[in-house]
A and B are shown apart, each in its own frame.
Chain A
Amino acid sequence: MLFSQIKRKKPEKLRGLQKMKAYLDNGATTQVAKEVIKTMQKVMTNHFGNPSSLHTFGEEAKQELEKAREIIAKKLNADPSEIIFTSGGTESDNIAIRGTAYKNKDKGNHIITTSIEHPAVLRTCEALEKEGFKITYLKVDKDGLIRLKELEDTITQQTILVTIIHGNNEIGTIQDIESIGKVCKSKNVLFHTDAVQSFTKVPIDVKKINIDLMSISAHKIHGPKGVGALFIKKGTRLRQIITGGEQENKNRPGTENTPGAAGFAKAVELCKEQGIEDMIRLRDMLIDGIEKNIPDVILNGSREKRLPNNVNIAFRYIEGESLLYQLDSKGIAVSTGSACSSQSLSPSYVLLAIGLKPEVAHGSIRFTLSRYTTKEEIEYTIKNVKEVVENLRKISPLAKRRD
């Protein structure tokens, strides 16, 4: 073998050894579980039929679809007939909110939401506002929680829907949906919650909690992208938003994504309580590690009422995008609420809503774990965040002012 060939081989080998990496952006999306891929491959290969077809091919696909529906319904203690498959969280939110608004516009035109919703809800409400609906955006406290009394006082005879996010995607705050559900029931108003981040991480029993509509998504729980579901409580009527065939009780026309649904169900089956406990332990280890080792940090969101996988921290005197890229060069993937990472150049509205000053919001980083996150990854992250924050503070003109 020529020397040059040996030399060429070496870097490949080194790359094989891979330096440490930590994927901590599971709030954005998750790695698809191997078991999910296997299930989807099986369904795609063996049960490719159209579930609406009458022949055996169709029947087999239909069985797969209904099996998936049952598994997802069971996780929520819902009836399978109360679950429709969609293309994801955004579509579920749209079907729920627009569907309710248009269906009930003769009863009233008022919708209540919060100032910290996911854009899928916020932009939908804003669009309805342009169509003549009145929207109230509830404020939140410094932890990101709404005030129940304020919700109660805001509901009028005109109110047709309350839509409030369960676990916030940025700061991880978990709203008390049980109490919110009670308020809505007592006032006879429909309640929708976007549970995309909390689904399988925070137990939800739709028989115990009054929820009329709930959006969930597969790709946040190690399932495939492009598939989600909407829980529609029995008796809840929606106006059809997408026109077409009769699939999914006419609420979501279009040939069903059978492999996607099967993959989603497999992902749900793989979610075990132990995984959540481990996530909470690692989450707290990360929070402690950062708070103990780095001065001038602020934990954003509620310390107690928090998603098991969310850590959102403001690092004062530095800017989030810089921090994100420095961490990326160490193999650590996170996200930021900084303006500089957005097209609008204004910092995260969620962080501003909990009362953060813009200059502090600019330095906020979100770490989101999954059940695949290891202790070693968290240790590696703490060590590197400390180093990178120190370096960026060294070159920051704000660091010495300490106001």
Chain B
Amino acid sequence: MATAYSKEVMKRFKKPKFAREMKDADAFGEVGNPTCGDVMKIFLKISKNKKGDEFIKDISFQTFGCVAAISASDALCELAKGKTIQEALKITRDDIIKLLKGLPSIKFHCSVLGEEALQKAIEDYKKKKK
């Protein structure tokens, strides 16, 4: 098919590794708007590592959106899994695009959604902890 998507994008889109609802999630973050055609929801399970730092033990997503939105969600989950909260907050849209081996420029906003959804989920976790 005539597509501007990289093989990596299509691979993740067809077989996402992290696409599921997490019923026992510690926190979640949802961004986007159905009117615009993208809604991304990130679920987090947080634990403490040996050093006592909180880290992302498990992560999953549910996304309403295009091929780019779904594969960006999956890429974000892979980048964030196992990272401490401090590390995870440093994940940027560029990291997502890099892991996807590129996105068509018109789809860059999908990677922004990924960055924002994770930050929102972490915020949600911090709020719930208080």
Contacts and interface: CB of A to CB of B under 8 A. Distances in A.
Interface in A360-386: 362
**Which DSSP category, helix, strand, loop or mixed, fits chain A's interface?**
loop
Contacts of A326: 14
Interface in A216-258: none
Contact of B19 (A339, A341, A359, A395): A395
A358 B37 CA distance: 8
A395 B67 contact: no
Nearest to A344: B106
Contacts of B38: 319
Interface in A327-351: 328-329, 338-341, 343, 345, 347
A389 to B, nearest CB: 13
Contact of A340 (B3, B39, B66): B66
A362 B39 contact: no
B13 A338 contact: no
Interface residues of A, number: 25
B65 interface: yes
Contact of B70 (A343, A358, A362, A395): A395
A357 B35 CA distance: 8
Interface residues of B, number: 29
A166 B35 CA distance: 30
Contacts of B20: 394-395
A345 B64 contact: no
23 contacts: A317-B64, A319-B65, A321-B66, A321-B67, A322-B67, A322-B69, A325-B3, A325-B10, A326-B14, A340-B107, A341-B66, A345-B37, A358-B34, A358-B35, A362-B34, A394-B19, A395-B16, A395-B61, A395-B63, A396-B39, A396-B62, A397-B64, A398-B39
Closest 10 CB pairs of A and B: A340-B66, A359-B34, A321-B66, A397-B62, A397-B41, A395-B19, A362-B37, A396-B64, A358-B35, A398-B64
Given A319-B37, A340-B69, 15 more contacts: A319-B38, A322-B66, A322-B67, A322-B69, A329-B14, A338-B37, A339-B37, A359-B34, A359-B37, A395-B16, A395-B19, A395-B20, A395-B61, A396-B63, A397-B30
